[in-house]
Amino acid sequence: MSVQLPYIPYFRRTARDAEYYECFLQPRLPAEIFDVHMHLNLPEHVSAVDEQRLISDWALECGHVLSCDDAYAVAAELFPGCAYRIAGFPWPIREADLRANNEYLAQMKRDGRLEPFMALRPEWDLEEVERTLLQGGFVGFKPYPDIVSGVKGADIGIFDFLPKPQWRIADKHKKAVMLHLPRKQRLADPDNITELLEARERFPDTEIIVAHLGRAFCPYFLEKGLSLLGSAVKGFRFDISGVTNPEVLDMAFERIDPRNILFGSDMPIFLWHGTRRWTERTYLNISREKFHWNTVRPEPEEAEEFTLFLYEQLRHTLDSMDRHGLGDPEKAGVFGGNAQGVLKL
């Protein structure tokens, strides 16, 4: 029987999923996985998020509550035979109780269960920020544009939601920043590139992890972004959570040092069954489960063949690594060793 998640009632690992894992994933996955991108919280941390907000953001509707206990239970079910560890962070949105969420993750750190990032707001007192970072044992900061804007892709700058004085704290203590890019063009936006390069120059002791390949889920954004970065790409780390497009993954493994690529699951968002279709600049999620955003219903025969979206991401990642001749050492790095080195664990 599948793990029961009270706040993600649709989650169920099926016999089809187990077969898919055994055929396509388990023989190629390393024995240890370190997940660098996962949202962890309790219901009370997001109690102010109303229904309309949830259905206005497809990712929030997929799942916005996941405790540390549930995360490890899900990981044990999804990845049998793997030793799984987590670097988690709060749901960094405007309505969330970030202080309480941070404290929860700090307690999980004290219990030896987690390597957490700290969420923060730009207006927080700097002494409080530094004290919380150090006393909580956080590996770094998890800022987020939504905390300022409340809108995905808002036209704001990186230093609007993580001001330079907060960057200086991360740099002083040689911590990491897990950075979600703002603006609609994300990694392809020249202003984002300018600010990334400024952050890299001004804060040389900060490990900058660009989440979701700079939110480059479609080929155009990664191609243009990497062209704008040029040789400076070597100064950044990139997590590949949520990225399933084979063309994007091939481009990443061709043009980014595999030692700078990190696996993340983005749980609890991708625990549904389905797939993604792309154009050069847009994507469409198609799910067996019913969501408000799921406007293209698959045929029953197609839906029955769907596996977990997270499994599809993993297969495309492993396929791309195989196409590029990357073997067990590189896979061990992407699926854990690289992130542990970045976070100095």
Average pLDDT over residues 207-212: 98
Tell me the residue length of the chain: 345
Q: Which domains does the chain have, with CATH numbers?
A: 15-342 (3.20.20.140)
Q: 97-101, 145-149, 155-159, 270-274: lowest mean pLDDT where?
A: 145-149
The percent of residues in the chain predicted with pLDDT above 70, rounded, is: 100
Can you give the C-alpha Rg of the chain in angstroms? 19
Distance CA 311, CA 211 (A): 19
Q: Is residue 1 very low, low, confident or very high in pLDDT (cuts 50, 70, 90)?
A: low
Q: Supply the DSSP string of 284-328, one letter for each residue.
A: EEEESS--TT--SPPPHHHHHH--BHHHHHHHHHHHHHHHTT--H
> Does pTM top 0.95 for this prediction?
yes
Three-state secondary-structure class, residue 139: coil
Whether 39 contacts 90, CB under 8 Å = yes
Distance CA 110, CA 265 (A): 23
Distance CA 135, CA 156 (A): 31
Q: Is residue 149 very low, low, confident or very high in pLDDT (cuts 50, 70, 90)?
A: confident
User: What pLDDT score does 153 carry?
Assistant: 73
Average pLDDT over residues 240-245: 98
User: What pLDDT score does 150 carry?
Assistant: 74
Q: Is residue 254 very low, low, confident or very high in pLDDT (cuts 50, 70, 90)?
A: very high
The percent of residues in the chain predicted with pLDDT above 90, rounded, is: 94
